[in-house]
Amino acid sequence: MTRSRRRGALFDVDGTLVDNTYLHTVTWWEAFRQSGHTVPMARVHRAIGMGSDQLLDHLLGEDRDRDADDAINAAHAGLYAAYWPRLSPLKGAAELLRACAERGWTVVLASSASSSELTAMRLVIDAEDAIAEVMAADDVDASKPAPDLVNQALERSGALPGDAVFVGDTVWDVQACGRAGVPCLAVLTGGYSRGELHEAGAREVYRGPDEILARLDSSLLGDRAS
C-alpha cells in the first residue's frame, strides 16, 4: 500500500517559538545549587535544548549519584513554572505556524519540554488553529539530541524525511535531525552562533521566526511547499 505524500513542518518550541532559553538557564542553575551542585551558568546554557534525561547526564556526569535527580527536576520545574505568566512568543512565531499550515504543511510541535510546560507555551503562542500534532519529551524514551522526537513527529505528520523540515534553535536540534535524516532550518534565538549551527549541520540559519516568515518563499519551507 502506497503511503500518501504529505509535507511536515516540525517545530521545536523552547527558544524557537517562545523566548525562554535564558529562563531555563537560570532555573536549572538554581536547581543545581539547591542540590549542592555548582555548574557554571555558561555550561547550563549550552545544554538547554536537551530534555532533562540527557541534560543531567551531560552536566553532572553519567557516574553521579542519581538519588537527587528527582529533586533537581522538581526544583527546576517549580522555579520555571513561576515564569509561566510572563512567557512571551518570539516575534512572528504564530504567524509563521499559520503561514506554513496555509501552504499545506502539516505543522507538528516536537519539544523536549514536559507536557505541562508545552501546554503553557502553546497558550502563549496562541496558534492552535495551525497546529496539527504535538510531541513532548514524555512521549518518547529519549529526548534530543536523540532522534526519537523527530522520528515521532515525522510519524505524526505523515511525512517522509525528504518531505519534512525541522525548525530549531540549538545544536541538539540539528544533531537530532541529522540522525533522523530530516533537513534542519535553525534560528539564532537560542544563543548559538550562525557558525555553530551550520557546523552542526543546519541547512539554513535565520535571525528568528520573523525572518523566516519574511523570507519564506526562498527558504526550505517555501521551496518544498511549491
Q: How far apart are CA 12 and CA 107, in angstroms?
A: 11
**Residue 3 belongs to some domain of the structure:** no
**Total-model pTM:** 0.94
**46 and 12 both lie in a single domain:** no
**Residue 1 belongs to some domain of the structure:** no
Residues 6+ apart with CB under 8 A from 62: none
**Residue 50 belongs to some domain of the structure:** yes
Which of 48, 67, 85 terminates a domain? The answer is 85
**203 and 169 both lie in a single domain:** yes
Number of structural domains found in the chain:
2
Q: What is the Cβ-side half-sphere exposure of residue 146, based on CA atoms within 13 angstroms?
A: 14
Arithmetic mean of pLDDT, 37-56: 94
What is the extent of the structural domain holding 31? Answer: 21-85
Q: Do 20 and 89 form a contact (C-beta atoms < 8 A)?
A: no
Give per-residue pLDDT as tens, 167-204.
999 999 999 999 999 999 999 999 999 999 999 999 99
**201 and 116 both lie in a single domain:** yes
**68 and 109 both lie in a single domain:** no
68: confidence class by pLDDT, cuts 50, 70, 90? very high
Four-residue CA torsion sign, 149, 155, 158, 164? positive
Look at residue 65 in the predicted model and tell me its pLDDT. 85
Q: Report the CATH number at residue 168.
A: 3.40.50.1000
